[in-house]
A = this chain, B = another copy of it.
Amino acid sequence: MSLKVGVVGGGQLARMMIAPAVEIGIELRVLAEEPGMAAALAATAVGDYRDAETVLAFARDVDVVTFDHEHVPQDVLAALVDAGVAVHPGPAALAFAQDKLRMRARLEELGMPQPEWAAVADAAQLQAFVDAHGGRAVVKTPRGGYDGKGVRVVADAGEAADWLAALSGDGRLLVEELVDFTRELAQQVARRPSGELRPYPVVETVQRDGVCAEVIAPAPHASERLVAVAAEIGVGIAEGLGVTGMLAVELFETTDDRLLVNELAMRPHNSGHWSQDGAVTGQFEQHLRAVLDLPLGDPDPRAPWSVMVNILGGPAEDSLADRLPRVFEEHPAVKVHTYGKAPRPGRKVGHVNAAGDDLDAVVYEARAAASLFAD
Contact = CB atoms under 8 A, between A and B. Distances in A.
Given A25-B338, A350-B25, A332 B296 contact: yes
Contacts of A20: 19
A22 interface: yes
Contacts of A320: 25
Most buried by B among A23, A294, A332, A337: A23
Interface stretch (A74-82, A85-93, A321-329): A321-329
Contacts of A128: none
A236 interface: no
A322 B332 CA distance: 38
B338 A23 contact: yes
In the complex, the count of this chain's copies comes to 2
B23 A321 contact: no
A86 to B, nearest CB: 16
Interface string A276-310: 10001100000001000011111010110000000
Interface of A: 1-3, 15-16, 18-20, 22-26, 41-42, 276, 280-281, 289, 294-298, 300, 302-303, 318-322, 324-325, 328-329, 332-333, 335-340, 350
23 contacts: A15-B22, A18-B19, A19-B19, A19-B22, A19-B23, A23-B336, A23-B337, A23-B338, A24-B337, A25-B324, A25-B336, A25-B339, A280-B332, A280-B333, A289-B328, A295-B328, A296-B328, A296-B332, A297-B328, A298-B333, A300-B333, A302-B302, A302-B303
